Amino acid sequence: MCIQLQIAYCILGIRPSCCQNKIFYLYNVNSLTMIEEMDLTPLECPEPFMKVVAKLMKIENGELKIRYKDPKCREMLLEAMKLMNCKVLEDSQNNGVFFMHIKKESGSSEKPKKIELTGGC
């Protein structure tokens, strides 16, 4: 799909049926920041958490919009966002589906932090 079409879909808020349940790249027209969407609703904790953290570790700049159903992952994701110095732009729930919009910038992680897993699902 060409970038112009992706921008048009982003502006209009339309998501074509060929892109349902797939990772879909959108672009913010003002700054051309990559926005990626991940539908993690079929997965159970800790899989959504692990996929989100892995994705954020791979990107330098960008935004990630995720959907997931397992409420156990919410606290783990919020804690990971603090440790990775990412901004949570949206954290909501609707009909049992959680939505989170995360922003990561290249200056977000000045120094690696020690992450200690103390609990989980």
Task: Report pTM.
Answer: 0.63
119 in any annotated domain: no
Q: CA quadruple 102, 89, 68, 17: dihedral positive or negative? A: negative
49 in any annotated domain: yes
113 in any annotated domain: no
111 in any annotated domain: no
Number of domains in the chain: 1
31 in any annotated domain: yes
Q: Phi and psi dihedrals of 34, rounded to 5?
A: -70, 135
Q: What is the pLDDT along the chain (121 residues), one digit of tens a residue?
A: 455 555 555 555 555 555 545 555 554 444 556 788 999 999 988 899 999 999 988 888 889 999 999 888 899 999 999 888 899 999 999 999 999 999 988 764 455 555 566 656 6
CA distances from 99 to 7, 69, 107 (A): 22, 9, 25
Q: Is 46 exposed, middle or buried (0-12, 13-18, 19+ CB in 10 A)?
A: middle
| Residue 50 domain boundaries | 3-105
CATH number at residue 10: 3.30.110.40
